[in-house]
Amino acid sequence: MPTIKRIGAYRFFFYSGDGAEPPHVHVQSAEKIAKIWLSPVRLGSSGTFRPHEISRIVSLVEEYQEELPEAWYDYFGT
């Protein structure tokens, strides 16, 4: 599970087996994990994050919407 970025309490990462799916990132804080699709940026699953946390996470993904897909393609090569 490569970690792509850490921002505050959030860890952005991929699972090694995610390459067969469209580009996305998982975001973890403590024991909560959300899945965010990268193109277009949208919520895949919210785990147990509260709505205001999801809004913050989506905003962060949008802020890094060039860097995160680059990391995806660098890792998965597709």
Tokens of 60: 């962060």
Using 50, 70 and 90 to split pLDDT, how confident is the model at 1? confident
Q: What sign results for the dihedral spanned by CA atoms 59, 61, 63, 38?
A: negative
Residues 16-73 have pLDDT tens digits of 999 999 999 999 999 999 999 999 999 999 989 999 999 999 999 999 999 999 999 9
In the chain, where the domains are located: 3-76
Residues 12-25 have pLDDT tens digits of 999 999 999 999 99
User: Quick check: 45 and 35 in contact, CB under 8 A?
Assistant: yes
Bond from prior residue into 40 cis (ω within 30 degrees of 0) = yes
pLDDT of residue 47: 86
Main-chain dihedrals φ then ψ at residue 48, nearest 5 degrees: -115, 20
pTM over 0.85: yes
